[in-house]
Structure formats: C-alpha cells, structure tokens
C-alpha cells in the first residue's frame, strides 16, 4: 500500500514519526527493548511492513494496517526506520 492509502485507512492519528534506532526514541519509549523485540518478531512473522517513507505498520484484521506507535505525553508517536534499513 502507498503511504497515503495507509494514512487514510488508519484511525490512529500520529503526531510525528521518530527513527526507531535514535537516541530520541530510546529516551521517549519506556519499553524500548521490548519494542525492538516486537519489531524483530513482526518482520520474522510477516505482520510488520514498512511503507515507502520508512514508517512501520502492523497488519491487523481484514487486511487493515495500523501504525506501530507508542504514546508519549498526550501524543501518539510512530516508529520509522531509514530506507537503507528497510531494504
């Protein structure tokens, strides 16, 4: 799916996207090590995808996707990875 299609079908509003492997993400995500394990399992099991912008999405019911994210304060923060890492 194209990034715009993913955004349109999602009911989760993401305030911004942060690089998964950044210090900023480590500082903000209270469950950072668990998140890393989930991402690894998601790719291995085939329920995690990366869109053309490097944003991480999980496959939900009925073929819908949800942005892989966490809550920081009152914001939903999405994870993204660099294009090099996605390939």
* 28 located within any domain: yes
Structural domain of 66: 3-82
64 vs 61: CA distance, rounded Å: 6
Question: Structurally, how many domains does the chain consist of?
Answer: 1
* 87 located within any domain: no
DSSP bridge partners of 77: 16, 70
Residue 27 CB burial class (10 angstroms; 0-12, 13-18, ≥19)? exposed
| 64: three-class secondary structure by DSSP | coil
Instruction: Reply yes or no on whether the pLDDT at 87 is more than 70.
Output: no
* 65 located within any domain: yes
Instruction: Reply yes or no on whether the pLDDT at 35 is more than 80.
Output: yes
43 vs 49: CA distance, rounded Å: 7
Answering whether pTM is above 0.95, one says no
């Amino acid at each position: 799916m194209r990034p715009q299609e993913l955004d349109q079908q999602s009911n989760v509003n993401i305030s911004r996207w942060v690089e998964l492997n950044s210090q900023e993400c480590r500082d903000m995500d209270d469950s950072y090590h668990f998140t890393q394990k989930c991402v690894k399992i998601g790719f291995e099991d085939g329920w995690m995808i990366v869109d053309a912008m490097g944003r991480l999405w999980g496959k939900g019911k009925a073929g819908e996707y949800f942005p892989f994210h966490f809550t920081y304060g009152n914001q939903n923060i999405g994870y993204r990875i660099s294009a090099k890492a996605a390939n």
